[in-house]
Structures are given as C-alpha cells and as structure tokens.
Structure 1
Amino acid sequence: MSDDVYELFAIRYAHHPRMARQNFISHDVHDGPMPLDYFVWVARNDERTFVIDTGFNAETGKKRGRNFLQCPTVGLRGLGIEPDAVRDVILTHLHYDHVGNFDLFPNASFHLQEREMAYATGRLMCHHLLRHPYDVEHVTGIVRRLYADRVIFHDGDETVAPGLSVHRVGGHALGLQCVRVNTRRGWVVVASDASHCYAHFETEKPFPNVVRVDEMLDGYRTIQRLAASKDHVIPGHDPEVMRRYPAASAELEGICVRLDVAPLHQSA
C-alpha cells in the first residue's frame, strides 16, 4: 500500500438511546427513536497508524448516562494495534466522549487545534452550559501532555501526513476539526461532531449542542466539499455507519467496520 493511502476503520464502543427531538434544534422534526453510537476511528498503512479520538471509559459512561459496551481497545487489539504502540492520536475536540481515554496511549503525541485548547481553558468555560461536555480531568490531562511535549497544535487546515489532513470546522466546539483521509475508494472525511448523524448534514438541521450555529451549518457544507461524495462522509455518532459498512472481520462483527471500502448500500 502506498504511504499516502490508508485503511480506515470505525470502532463502536458505546450507545445512547434517545429521541429525534433531542438531536435537532429545529422543532418540526417528526419524533421517534434516534439513538447515538460512540466511535473511535483508525487510519493506517504500512508506514504509520493514526487513532482518531479516544472515547470514554465505563466510569464516565455511568456518570453521563451512556451505555458503555466495551473499551475501545477491544477494537484496536482486534485490528492488531496495541495502545502503547500508538504514536499519533488526533483529537477532533476535547469533549468527554472524544478524549476520555487519552491515558491509554502513553507513548502518543496528540494532534489538536490550537483554538480548541484555548476554548477549553478560557473564559467561555465560566458558562456551565458550554463547559458541560468537557471533563476537567481530561482537559488538565492534555495540558499535562502539553508540558511533556506530547501535544502537536494545528491552526485551521493542515496536512498531518501524506494523504491525511485536519480541517477546523468549529460550530459544535470552537476548535472542532474533521479528518480527511485518502483511501482506496477516494477521499473519506471522518466528520466526528461536524455532523453527528447523516441527517444533520443532509438536511442542514443543526444538532442542539452548539457554540456557533453558523459555523455548524458551514461545516455541513465543508465536510461534503472535502469528501469525494456524500457517501464518503462518516458522521460521528450515527448507528447507520455500522449497518452501511462491512465488519473488519468476523471476530469484530458489531464492534468495528471498514470505511475504506464502498458502503454495502448507497445513501438515498
């Protein structure tokens, strides 16, 4: 495999049953069950491996009322990846469900938008509503990694490695970034919380946990522009991802799917 083409995987580790009205600002959404899944992602080739986000643990899941299924390391080890061998972790942002297991990667450097660190440690955290998705121990843990020379800051759109780049989209968090990955099927965008579900970017109806609505709406268009097609956009929390893509292996059925291959069925 070329050093600028990656295998790409989504590892599901938690679940939250909820209703559609909880997932949109708009009030004209027809209500019904619309659960969320929680993922970490892996992009790898023969030269390098990137873990994208780290998830949360069972204790945090209990505190936040989420159904914790298994540690994300189950999926990683199923792919033959030992956490202490990982050298690069991309954090899309510092919310509890994207950074909570940072301590499982003791030898990694963490790639983060500079603006996200400033946001998570700045004056806007005086507002409970804005700081609620953050956990002080997670944020201070990344600050400690910074002082140990383990944080690499990015400012806007930057190439991290051949075939892989990060792009600040904001909206959901001021320093939220998505990850664009070159795969054998073309450019795939790991949207993370730039679009929680397919329905968010497809309808341009915002998710309610938002700092800047304009940036969230612009982000829906940005992720589609960066991707080879809308079937190349991977939302951050949609259970449909597990249905659209094939399992990475028989042993990882229901835990990990491949995103570098065509979906089993195309979007409408």
Structure 2
Amino acid sequence: MRRRAALALGAALVASCRGPHPAAPVYDVDAVRYATIVGFPARALVAGADSARRQDIAMMVWLLRAPGRTVLVDAGFHRDKFVRQWKPADYRTPATALAALGVDSAAVTDVVLSHVHWDHADGLDLFPNARVWIQRAEYEYYVAPDGTPAHPGIDADDAAMLHALRGAGRVMLVDGDAREILPGIAVYTGGRHTYASQYATVRTHAGTAVIASDNCYLYENLDRRRPIAQTFDSLSNLAAQDRMKTLASSARLIVPGHDPAVFARFPSPGNGVARIR
C-alpha cells in the first residue's frame, strides 16, 4: 500500500513538472489601412501577370492586441519624400490610423518588422517606446556598421534610423526561422522578398493567423500558386507560401501584404479596419 502511494505521489510530482505552460495570450488582430496606391502594375506583384494589368493596392499595418501588449507587424511610412513620390490616395500616417482606433502611438510595445523596405520600415520612429524585431541577417545585410545602406533595398534615412534604434537598445535581432519572439507570436523566414524577410503567426480567437506581409502580396499569389514578382528566389517564395497554409489554422487566416480584398473578406468593423477572425 505504501509503495503504491509513493508511486502515485511520484507520478503526480512528475506530472506537475511536465504540466502545461501558462496559455499564450489570444490576440485581437486588425489589418489597418492607412493609404492606397492607385494603378500599381500587377506584374510587380504576381510573377507572370499581364504587363498591361494594373490594380489598386492597400497600404496597411497589422495591429495585434492582448492584455498588456500592443504589437504592430510593420510600421508603414510617413516621410514626405515618399508621399510626394508615390502620391497615395486617402493617406494618413499609420499613427493617425491607429489613433482612430484609440491606440496611442506611445502605447505600442513592439513592432515586428517583416523587412526593410520603405513602406514597411519608414514609420518605425512614429512609435517611440516600441522594440523592433527584425531578422539579424536582414539587419546586417542592409545596414552597415556606420548606419549607411550596405546593399540596395533600404532607404538611407531608414538605415540611419534603424542604426540609431539599435544604438538605443530597441532593436531585437532574431536568429533564424520558427522563433517565438513574444508569447503567442512567432516569426518564420524563407519568403525571400528581401534578403531575410520574415512573416509572423499569431494566436487569435479563430485560431492561428499568418501575417504574410510582402512574402505574399495578394490572395492571387496563394490561389494561383504564383510567386511574388519581387523576390530573391521564386521557388523559396512558393515554398514559404505553401508553408503558410500548414501554419494557419485555415487558409482564410493567411493575410497578404497589399490586397484590398482583405477588407472585403473581413468587412467588420469597417472604415479601413478588418478584424481577422
């Protein structure tokens, strides 16, 4: 009897040590549209698309909220030179778009930066208290030790900004694929939009969602199994899109980087905001 009791106690202790970790938070996930670029060439989005075809594309950031944490995937752009060059319709800064949702830019705790292109990285300095999560290989490929661009693909002002943020201790360099960087949020590499672009998964009320950013521009990339047109490696990009389908709880929870159809597929609450659910 004593032996059985001891064995039962031992098993209980082992079970308690192996017990489940506290549940990761569940996030509310919103795609937030802050501008539109009109008549963008489809051939720059989908490999093999008709060269005469053009379509509007949505400029957006993705807001992930859970108790005690306000996270963005990407930060958009705000510098006047980009506004003048691209002439976006219905433009407002990403910070202004978030303020309309009651989110103070100073309250953003983290920005997951998918890659260094101007329309995703330029707005980082709008969020003065946020840590920035970027792949180490991406940062080191594009930002030289003196803060100048090491390779084409990053704007000089954005390179200098990232360098300064790193000097301030706010840049968190992620080492590679399949890393949980925050509770309930993981990042994955392989999309090859840029040298070491990353995309994110997030735990939502509807299951695991994938925030693809520019590793998948449009639903068309997924539906027709077409790589993005701007990539270091088309085969790697296709493999990443295939992987997204295994990571997401359902294909409908893969959110492409620039497709205005996101706001038709997820029409609530509206006014440029799509709750992913």
TM-score if structure 2 supplies the norm length?
Answer: 0.83
Q: Is the Cα–Cα contact under 8 Å of residues 41 and 51 in structure 2 kept in the other structure?
A: no
* Residues 1:75 and 1:202: Cα distance change in structure 2 (over 3 Å): same
SS at match of 2:236: helix
Q: CA deviation at 1:137?
A: 0.7
User: For residues 106 and 196 of structure 2, what CA distance do their matches in structure 1 show?
Assistant: 27
1:50 is matched with which residue? Answer: 71
Q: Answer yes or no: is the 8 Å Cα contact 2:227–2:235 preserved in 1.
A: no
Q: Does 1:115 align with 2:137?
A: yes
Aligned mates of 1:31, 1:21 — CA distance in 2 = 8
Residue 207 of structure 1: how far off its partner (Å) = 2.2
Please name the residue that 1:192 is paired with: 213
The alpha-carbon deviation at position 169 of structure 1 amounts to: 2.4
The SS at the match of 2:77 is coil
Distance 2:196 2:44 in 1: 23
Structure 2 residue aligned with 1:214:
235
From 161, 171, 179, give the equivalent of 1:158. 179
Which segment is superposed worse, 76-85 or 184-193? 76-85
Post-superposition offset of 1:214: 2.3
Task: Establish whether residue 239 from structure 1 lines up as the match of residue 266 from structure 2.
Answer: no
Match in the other structure for 2:194? 173
Which of 27, 40, 56 is the equivalent residue of 1:35? 56
**Following TM superposition, by how much is the alpha carbon of 1:168 offset from its aligned partner in structure 2, in angstroms?**
1.3
CA distance in 1: counterparts of 2:108 and 2:40, whole angstroms: 34
Q: Which has the larger radius of gyration?
A: 2
Alignment partner of 2:97 out of 70, 75, 80: 75
Structure 2 distance, partners of 1:162, 1:218, is 26
Range 63-72 or range 111-120, more displaced? 63-72
Partner of 1:144: 164
Identity of aligned residues (%): 29
Contact 2:35 2:59 in 1 (8 A): yes
Structure 2 residues without counterparts, runs of 5 or longer: 1-22
Q: C-alpha distance in 1, partners of 2:212/2:222?
A: 10
CA offsets 1:83-122 (integer angstroms, 9 cap, x no match): 1122211111110010111111111110111111122136
Judge conservation of contact 1:3–1:46 (CA < 8 Å) in 2.
no
Q: Deviations over 1:41-97 (max 9, x none)?
A: 111111311111110126112224543521112231122211112221111111001
Distance 1:64 1:75, change over 3 A: closer
Call closer, same or farther: CA 1:64–1:33 in 2, change over 3 Å.
closer
Give the 3-state SS of the residue equivalent to 1:210 in structure 2. Answer: coil
- Contact 1:242–1:254, Cα closer than 8 Å, also in 2: no
C-alpha distance 121-214 of structure 1, shift in aligned 2 (>3 A):
farther
> Once the 2 structures are TM-superposed, how far is the Cα of residue 220 of structure 1 from its aligned partner?
1.1
Deviation at 1:126, TM superposition (A): 7.0
Letter of the structure 2 residue corresponding to residue 245 of structure 1? F
Does the CA contact (< 8 Å) of 1:169 and 1:176 recur in 2? yes
Deviation of the 1:203 alpha carbon: 1.6
Inter-CA distance 3–22: structure 2 relative to 1 (3 Å threshold): closer
How many residue pairs get aligned? The number is 248
Q: Is the 8 A contact 1:3 1:47 kept in 2?
A: no
CA distance in 2, matches of 1:210, 1:226: 21
Q: 1: distance between equivalents of 2:191 and 2:46? A: 17
Gaps of 5+ in 1: 262-268
Amino acid at match of 1:185: A
Does the 8 Å CA contact 1:112/1:152 hold for their aligned counterparts? yes
Which residue in the other structure is 1:264 paired with? none
SS of the equivalent of 2:40 reads coil
> Deviation per CA, 1:196-228, whole angstroms, max 9, x where unpaired?
001112222222221222221111112111111
Contact 1:61–1:68 (CA under 8 A) maintained in structure 2: no
